[in-house]
Structure 1
């Protein structure tokens, strides 16, 4: 049986937009982890004011990259600095197309001289593996899909638990019998918990201090129970799948931008190698901002705030385009704070709308017309309203600028993209991204 490719799906639909545009699409949340434990509001509050335990074991796609050409394969297809990449360090990997559009990011950890682990949604992994195999690099790949897509079921190879919040360090000291070795942000160190080997990554959600622990799945249940028991006197709160999707809105990370791969004729073979039933073919687009041209949804790593991660000390796919683009960044990443009264009126029929989460591309307007699009929108209970990570024209990005979010679902092809469909408007105010003060100032200070 022939497995349909991404290009097969585009050809059948007539265009990438026809394939991906799904009005009213529900955001995906991990099905293996409970949606809520104590309630999404309490769970969000925990990493702001107390301590929270998050289970990341099931929704990440892991790919190990190992061999003499591992570094070269990653450097040739990513914009990061590989001359300064220590064993035990992690980076946000930034692969781009030859036009300078991001493929998507991922967390790349260096585990050895010639061994890396790339984690996240599997678009960056597909990109690296395809080009490495086509280019004849001396490198091998081992993959472990997320639990929702692992054929035949079974357990992950690794567990990942995050301890987050102001009391995170205290909980960790109690669990390990003392403080962990001093570790820079986004660096990891080998530790043991009651004789079980783990790696501890300095990490944080929404700007709070925290740690991410990973290890072999055979130790998962023990480590989880140890954290739960140790954290009980500190008021530890388990975080479910709903609340877990929201801290990125505060910390300024835009998840799952549209990969810039759908139109380049030189990527035809790549699209023919990608399965239709993967992230590139099934991650939907929706919202009030509709365009017939998929390229209108492509984004530059500069727009996502990744400029400091880009290094021109080596050659890589997209280098020339990024060099030209760095002084011509049209849009800026900001946080929109939606007016609480308008949120209740539009989303809750006058009442508290409860949990709100969408990755819809909603139009952001001023009197001048369209000035931006939302990328992820979510209720943030400690803030008291809904926030939206947004890409906005730079001249409208100053904090305090008042804009309007057009809330609705454009039906797609066959309806004028500029048609007035009577969608309600929500007033909003531009604020910095990251929104969280700690994340804006101290979060990466010792990186």
Structure 2
């Protein structure tokens, strides 16, 4: 039996939106890891006030890209600057379509002169591999899926642990018997722990100091136990799947935007290459903001804050479209990325029937309205952040409403999708919100780029 493709799914459903629209879809959380260890509130507090340990070993796809054309294929299909990309460095890899819409992003680490590791959700990996195979680049690929899709229940190839928070460096010094070599942000350094060799990537989440340690899976259990032992007297807290999903709301990273691949006739072959039961065919759309046109969900790298990542000093797919988008960004025609701080009283009223609603997480696209009820933006990720005392929403909003302090409202509800008018009055409640900068965390907003 032939495996159905993404294009097969679109044809059967009638449109990309009809395929993807799933009202009330459960938000994604990392697989395998415990949902909570000591409670999501305490786990969030750990990276704000103490030190946290996160296990990232199971939920990401890893793809090794090697060969004489490895740099060329990545540069031809990504906006990044490869002239300044050192071995041991990592970058947010940003591939776009010929129309300048983001496919998705991923973390790209350069492991050798002609060797890279691309990690994250697999949409960017699919994009690179397809174009490499189609055009005959001299490059090879090895993929390790996430634990939910790894055949036979086998272990990952790599462990990946983060130590984050104000006391992160104290735990690192304790575990390794001293400080690690000084390392620039998003650069890595080789380390050993009792003869076990791996790498330490200088990395922070939600603006806090820390490292991400990456190495062979066979060393994973030993390294994890060593970190727990070193962190115990310092109050280290393990972070579960619920709290893990929330730092991006503070750090300004918008995960898993809708790939801009569903409508271009020239990408029909690509859609036939992609399996229906993959990320591109199964990541749901939901929320109070509904459009029958999937292109209304596409985003530009400029809207996501990747403008400084785009390097026009080389030719790449989508370059001309991004030059035009750059002018639109200067002319205030593109949406701005902001953080909405939801009114805590309204959160309790709407989400908790007057009580504390507990943990809130949503990747739904909710309408954001002005005081006059006009659509001015759309939410991209929403989560409770207990140290802030309310719910935050990463949002793309019209420039005229993007100034900090602007009052807006979030329409909370699930549009049923096709068969109901996009602008139908469905009686959904409104949650008042105030526009604030993105990243919301001041350190992430002011230091990430300077330290990189």
TM-score bracket for this pair, using the shorter chain length: over 0.9
SS in 1 for 2:276: coil
Q: Which runs of 5+ in 2 are unaligned?
A: none
1:341 aligns with 2:338: no
Q: Which runs of 5+ in 1 are unaligned?
A: none
**Distance in 1 between the 2:45 and 2:205 partners?**
12
**Distance in 2 between the 1:183 and 1:432 partners?**
28
Indicate the residue corresponding to 2:95 in structure 1. Answer: 95
Indicate the residue corresponding to 2:32 in structure 1. Answer: 32
Q: How does 1:220-369 map to 2 (within 5 A)?
A: 220-329=220-329, 330-366=334-370, 367=372, 369=374
**Structure 2 residue corresponding to 1:422, chosen from 415, 419, 427:** 427
Q: How does 1:118-157 map to 2 (within 5 A)?
A: 118-157=118-157
Per-residue CA deviations over 1:152-187 (Å, capped at 9, x if unaligned) read 211000000000000000110110011101100000
Q: Give yes or no for contact 1:406–1:424 (8 Å, CA) kept in 2.
A: yes
Per-residue CA deviations over 1:46-101 (Å, capped at 9, x if unaligned) read 00000000000000100000000000000000000000000000000010000000
**Distance in 2 between the 1:394 and 1:62 partners?**
37
**Distance in 2 between the 1:11 and 1:155 partners?**
36
**Distance in 2 between the 1:388 and 1:74 partners?**
32
After superposing the two structures, state which structure 1 stretch, 136-145 or 147-156, moved more.
Answer: 147-156
SS in 1 for 2:87: coil
Compute the displacement of 1:35 (Å). Answer: 0.2
**Distance in 2 between the 1:327 and 1:166 partners?**
40
**Distance in 1 between the 2:179 and 2:294 partners?**
49
Compute the displacement of 1:261 (Å). Answer: 0.1
Indicate the residue corresponding to 1:7 in structure 2. Answer: 7
**Structure 2 residue corresponding to 1:446, chosen from 431, 448, 451:** 451
After superposing the two structures, state which structure 1 stretch, 364-373 or 105-114, moved more.
Answer: 364-373
Per-residue CA deviations over 1:187-218 (Å, capped at 9, x if unaligned) read 00101011100100000110000100011000
The number of residues matched between the two structures is 447
Q: Give yes or no for contact 1:30–1:148 (8 Å, CA) kept in 2.
A: no
Compute the displacement of 1:444 (Å). Answer: 2.7
Q: Give yes or no for contact 1:356–1:386 (8 Å, CA) kept in 2.
A: yes
